[in-house]
Structure 1
Amino acid sequence: MSTWVSYQKQFQHYLKLERSLSKNSLLAYQQDVSKLSNYMEKQFPTISPLEVKLTHLRGFVNGLADLEISEYTQARIISGIKAFYRFLMYEDLIQEDPAQLLESPKLGRKLPDTLSYEEITQILESVQLGEAEGHRNRAMLEMLYSSGLRVSELLDLKLGNVYADIGFLRVIGKGNKERLVPVGSDALKYLKLYLDEVRVHQTIAKGHEEFVFLNRRGKKLSRVMVFLIIKKQVELAGIQKNVSPHTFRHSFATHLIEGGADLRAVQEMLGHESITTTEIYTHLDRDYLRQVLNEFHPRK
């Protein structure tokens, strides 16, 4: 077994136990460090992970750029490498962190497509409630827009975590973190229709009894299925935009902020650890910010 494999396994163990990361995040870290280990074993086979220097890491990053890997992907890989070397420092396996001065490519803040309220309404109303999955699909889309859920949070939602009486959902987000998210009355109305008119009559597969949204076979819906449902409804609504489940989340945040919602409140609802992540969801230009200052600050 190469030393790289040994340290990678220790790193994975640490991420799983200490950081409680999701399977997707664990896999991403694993792939990032594997890319570095493949490069090092090919270019510098005698150098162990503990002997890597900044020059080696810069050579690896330059190789990523030569492969025309996007700046966003480069930045994510570098973030994974930095986490790996922070772990080695944490375990006292190295005395100096070679990745500390490793620079990520400068990223522009790319905003995903946003839907206007009118476009959201068009998509929602394109769902035919008379169709077999109509009630389910309408309830799902209403919930994505009403609460700004990630697609994984929507699919993992359980019946016991819907508090319709107070208008809240208990959501398990990234890193297994729980949060309470408000949900609108329209979304709850369509959810009740789905539960009472459709789901109650389904034969539910063993182990899937608690999940809210089910497929025809009575099993939890897949991510791919949600993407396909949205693609179909967007086409039916005649909207020429690239729309995904995340577009509903982004539109939810944007419409709240444009309506005057506090950024911290939106941060809480989206489950962002950092306020800077939430700021990506705003389209507030400088003129608007200047106008806010002029209107509301006591010393203009």
Structure 2
Amino acid sequence: MLTLRNARLFIACADSGTLTAAAGVLNVSQPAATKSLAQLEGALGGTLFERSGRRLTLTALGEALLPRARALVQQARDMEAEARRWRSGDDGLIRLGAGPAVAFSLLPDAVKRFYGSGNAARLTVRSGAAGELIERLRRGELDLVVADRGDDEADPGLATRALPDQSLAAAVRPGHPALAGAPLEDFRIATATPPERLRQFPLGWNAGAPGIVCDDYGVLARACAVSDHILIAPAPVMARILAEHALVPLSGEVSALVVRPALIWRADAPASAAREALCACFEGVT
């Protein structure tokens, strides 16, 4: 019989590679873990692992069923979390992940709209690289991510709603040698964690590897104000930076790359009126 207990054991065995390690993760004895795994394989009518000494390797059946086991355990976590929020009266909590560009440019106006319209939901925000945030979303640690969506719109496990694409812009400090005609390729760039697509759409002047990578555009702007690095940022981010920092924009196309921000959540996540209201606020920011 399939239960949450032996589904967790299945996952722990797959992740750790041995029954001993899986038993330790779940705080059960090895004989109990061995018995539970045998019961699960009997109920499913096939072996989930090949045994080689103490090592466990997924069979074809195990590979096919592991995603379902993970989904089952995640749904149980979701149910427990939702029940806790109802018991505590905290059902309006939204755990938001914001990519670097979103955190600097779109987030302040979206939050202003959200609370200005009378929403009382509590909001916690985690900022970081898009890939890291999306992994946390998949693990159920975040409810919504607003970040460069990359290729994740093709992931059936995620629901996405596109926001307007953003082109890239460049800026330097006043008196920068590039403003007097020095070749741009002589200077390193400063940017947030670049999307993987930057490999297909290199910067227009054959720029080298980034000299500074930081997911806080405020830090990047201040660093470029006192160095010869060239700041690269999405156009909405750059507009805010130029209004707040003494930097000078560089003219011309930076790259054919566009940043593709989107609202992203797990396709199987419970419906949330507060999450939908926050999404509408992001969509209303221009």
Q: Shorter-chain TM-score: what band?
A: under 0.3
More helix by share: 1
TM-score, normalization by structure 1:
0.27
Higher RCO, 1 or 2 (CA under 8 Å, sep at least 6)? 2
TM-score, normalization by structure 2:
0.28
More strand by share: 2
